[in-house]
A and B are shown apart, each in its own frame.
Chain A
C-alpha cells in the first residue's frame, strides 16, 4: 500500500477509535455494551464459579477417599453435592459457553456488536445476580440439598422446610431469564448481522452450533421456569401441583424438569462441538470434512434432544410403549452425533495435525466423548438402564460427557483464543503438561466409577461401608480428582502468568481460518476498521479478500464511521440491507438486573408488597431504557 493509503487508513482508524471509546474504570465495565468486555465478564465470573464447584467436588472426593469418613456429614454432603451440580451446570458451563459466544460470534461473522448490545449486558448482570443469590443461600446456611434435579416430594415444604429449595427455585428462575435473553440475542445476531457475503452456507460451524443451542434454549428453559413457579407456589402459598393428597402429581416435576433437562445436555455440549470445529481446521491445516453435514448434524442434535427426556425416567414405571419410544429416540440421536465425530476424526486424519495444546484438548475431548457416548447408548437400553440406575455408572457416564465432552473443548478453546483476547501467547510446554494432567486426572477419577457403579455403589450417598469392596476404587478416584485439580490449577497459573508476561502473539499466531484472526489482538472496540469481505467459510485464508479490505479502508469504503454503525444483512444470503446505529454504554442493564434481583429476594423472604414495589421499579427502568431512541433504527 502507498504511504498515502496508509495515512488515509490511519485517519479512519483514529476516527473509529474516537467514536467507539467507552468510559474508563469500574464505571466503564458497569455500563459497557461492548460484546468483548461482556464476554470477558462472563468468562471471569464463570471461572470463579468453576473454582467454587471444583472445591465442592474435591470436598466430596475427599469425603469418599475411604469408608466411613466424617469430613462431611450427610447434610453437608447433600448440600455440597447439590451446589456442585447446580454450579457446574448453571453457573459455569452455560455461562462459559455464553462467554465464548458473546466474545466470538460477532467477530466471526464480521459484525461490530451483538444485535441487542444492552440486552447482552442485561443477561450478564442477571446471571451474576442469580449466581450470587444461590451462593448467598450457602453462606447463610440455607443451601439447596435435594440434588441438582431437585425431585419432589423431597423438595416439597414438608421434607425440605428450610429456605434452601427456595434459593434454588428463585435463583434458577433468574438464571433462566439471563440464559434465554442471551440465546435470543445470538439468534438475531447470527441471522441479521453477518457481514455482507456471509450467506448461511459460508457461516462458520461455530456459529451454527450457537444457533442450534440458542433455539434449544428458547424452547427448553420455559418448562423449567414453569416447573419452578409451580414449586414455589406449592412451597410458599400451599398450592397443590405436586401434592398427591390434593390431586397433584409429583411425577409432573420429573417430566417438566427433564423436558428441560435433556435438551440442556445438548445445550451444554453443542457449543463445545462448535469450539472443536473451530480448532481442528486451524491445527490440521485443512477445511472441515463434510461441512454441510456437520452443520445439519448440529441442528439435528438440538432438535432430537427434545424427544428423549424420558430416558432419565426409565426406572419410574411408565407404560412400556412410552419408554420404548424414548429408547428409540435416544438411539437415533447417536446418528447426528456420530456424523460430527467421524467428520472431526476424518479431518484430523486427512490433514497435517500440529499437536499444540488446543488440539490436544480436542483429541482428549474426542476420546472421552466416544467413551461417554458409548455408555450413553447403553443407557438407551431400558433393561440396562434400570439395572444401573442411581449407581455410580451414571455418574461416570455424565462426567465423561459433561466434563470430557464439554469442558475439554472449553479448555482447548481458552488456550486457542487466549492470544486473540490478550495479545499474548501462553506457555506451550506448560499447556501440554496441563493437558496431560487433566486428561489422566479425568480418566483416573471417572473411569473407576463405571466399575464401582456396576458393583452396586449408589450415587449421592455420603459414605460407604468398609466391607463393600469399594475402598480401593474410591481411593483411586480421589487421587485422580487431585491430579485433575492440579492440571486445572496449572492452566490458571499459565494463563495468569502469560496474561502479563507472555510473548506478544501478533494478530494470527496459529493461522486460524475464521475472521477474528484478521483483526488485531486484542480486537479494537469496533472489531474491524472496515466491514470485511466474505466469499467462503474460511475468510481468514482468503488472502485476496483481506487485501481488498485494506484497499477499502484506505479508500474509506465500508468503514461506517459516523457512529456505532454496523451493517444488517438479509437472513439467508447476507445481502446488504441497512446500516444500524448500535447503542453505546448504558446504565440501565445493571440497574434492571438489580431491580429484578431485589424482587427475587423479596419473594424469597415473603415480602409480597415490597416485591411488587421493586417490580414497579423494574418497569420504570425499562421505560427509562427505551425513552431515548437511536437516531436511525
Chain B
C-alpha cells in the first residue's frame, strides 16, 4: 500500500467535520438526558438499587472503559496521518483502534447478557434505566465498529480528500463515544462506590 499525497488548501473546518460536530451535539443532548434521567430516578428512590438487586461490579467495567478510552488516541493519530497523506499509517492506526473497540464491544455484550438475565426491567426503574443506558452506549460502539470497517475498506482503495474527511469524522465520533463511555461507566458503577 503506497502513500499518496493529497493537497490540503482548506482553511476552515470541512462541511463534513461540521456535520459530525452537530451530530455529536445532538448525541450529547441524548446522553445528557439519559444520564439526567438516571439520577432523577435515583434521587427519587428510597433505595438504589432496590432491595434484592445486587450492587454492580466495578473493576471489570472500569477496566474495559479504560481500553475504550485508549482506542481514541490512535483514531486521532489516524486522522492526522490521513491529513498528511500517509495512508498506510492511517490504516494501521485505525486497525489498532478497531481491535481494541471490537474487543471492548464483544466483552460488553457478554456482560450485558448477564445483566439482562438477572435484572428485571418490568419490576424496577433501576433495571429499566440501567439496561437502557448501557444498551444505547453499546449501540454507539457497535455503529462505531461498523464505521471502522467502512473506513478501513475505503482506505484500502486509496486516499482522497473525501476520505480524509471521513477518517476525521469517524475519529471525532470515537472521541465522543469514549468520553461518554467514561460518564456512562461512572454512572453504572456509582451505587457500589
Give Cα A633 to B168, complex, Å: 13
22 A-B pairs whose Cβ atoms sit less than 8 Å apart in the complex: A184-B23, A187-B18, A218-B25, A221-B29, A222-B32, A222-B33, A226-B34, A227-B33, A230-B37, A238-B122, A240-B124, A240-B127, A240-B128, A241-B37, A246-B128, A247-B126, A249-B40, A252-B41, A255-B40, A259-B33, A623-B150, A633-B14
Residue numbers in B under 8 Å from A240 (CB-CB): 121-125, 127-128
A residues near B (Cβ < 8 Å) are 115-116, 119, 180, 183-184, 187-188, 191-192, 218-223, 225-227, 229-230, 233-234, 237-241, 243, 246-249, 252, 255-256, 259, 568-571, 575, 577-578, 580, 619, 623, 626, 629-630, 632-633
Residue numbers in A under 8 Å from B13 (CB-CB): 571
Report yes or no: B37 in contact with A226, Cβ–Cβ below 8 A.
yes
Residue numbers in B under 8 Å from A629 (CB-CB): 160, 162-163
The yes or no answer to B146 lying at the interface (CB within 8 A) is yes
Report yes or no: B22 in contact with A239, Cβ–Cβ below 8 A.
no
The yes or no answer to B45 lying at the interface (CB within 8 A) is yes
Report yes or no: A633 in contact with B33, Cβ–Cβ below 8 A.
no
* Interchain nearest-CB distance for B90 vs A (Å): 17
Query: Which stretch of B4-12, B67-75, B96-104, B178-186 is in the interface?
Result: B4-12
The yes or no answer to B118 lying at the interface (CB within 8 A) is no
Report yes or no: A246 in contact with B125, Cβ–Cβ below 8 A.
yes
Give Cα A192 to B165, complex, Å: 15
- Given the known A-B contacts A247-B125, A256-B37, A578-B10, are A184 and B29 also in contact in the complex, defined by CB atoms under 8 Å? no
1/0 contact trace for B112-151 toward A, CB 8 Å? 0000000001111111110010000000000000100010
Residue numbers in B under 8 Å from A569 (CB-CB): 12
Residue numbers in A under 8 Å from B122 (CB-CB): 237-240, 246
Report yes or no: A247 in contact with B12, Cβ–Cβ below 8 A.
no
Most B-side CB within 10 Å, residue of A180, A227, A238, A239: A239
Report yes or no: B124 in contact with A246, Cβ–Cβ below 8 A.
yes
B interface residues, tally (CB under 8 Å): 43
Chain B interface, >50% SS class = helix
* Interchain nearest-CB distance for B32 vs A (Å): 8
* Interchain nearest-CB distance for A590 vs B (Å): 20
- Please give me the residue from chain B that is nearest to A571 by CB atom: B12
- Given the known A-B contacts A116-B19, A188-B15, A256-B37, are A619 and B29 also in contact in the complex, defined by CB atoms under 8 Å? no
- Given the known A-B contacts A188-B22, A219-B29, are A577 and B11 also in contact in the complex, defined by CB atoms under 8 Å? yes
Give Cα A570 to B127, complex, Å: 48
The yes or no answer to B161 lying at the interface (CB within 8 A) is yes
- Given the known A-B contacts A577-B11, A632-B161, A633-B161, are A184 and B125 also in contact in the complex, defined by CB atoms under 8 Å? no
* Interchain nearest-CB distance for B152 vs A (Å): 14
Give Cα A577 to B15, complex, Å: 12
Residue numbers in A under 8 Å from B26 (CB-CB): 180, 184, 218-219, 221-222
Residue numbers in B under 8 Å from A192 (CB-CB): 12, 15, 18
- Please give me the residue from chain B that is nearest to A252 by CB atom: B40
The yes or no answer to B66 lying at the interface (CB within 8 A) is no
Report yes or no: A239 in contact with B121, Cβ–Cβ below 8 A.
yes
Report yes or no: A184 in contact with B22, Cβ–Cβ below 8 A.
yes
Within 8 Å by CB of A241, from B11, B16, B25, B129, lies B129
Residue numbers in B under 8 Å from A626 (CB-CB): 150
Residue numbers in B under 8 Å from A630 (CB-CB): 162
Give Cα A544 to B2, complex, Å: 52
Residue numbers in A under 8 Å from B127 (CB-CB): 240
Give Cα A216 to B162, complex, Å: 29
- Please give me the residue from chain A that is nearest to B164 by CB atom: A633
Residue numbers in A under 8 Å from B41 (CB-CB): 241, 247-249, 252
Give Cα A632 to B125, complex, Å: 51
- Please give me the residue from chain A that is nearest to B146 by CB atom: A619
- Please give me the residue from chain B that is nearest to A573 by CB atom: B12
* Interchain nearest-CB distance for A611 vs B (Å): 14
Within 8 Å by CB of B18, from A188, A229, A249, A570, lies A188
Residue numbers in A under 8 Å from B165 (CB-CB): 633
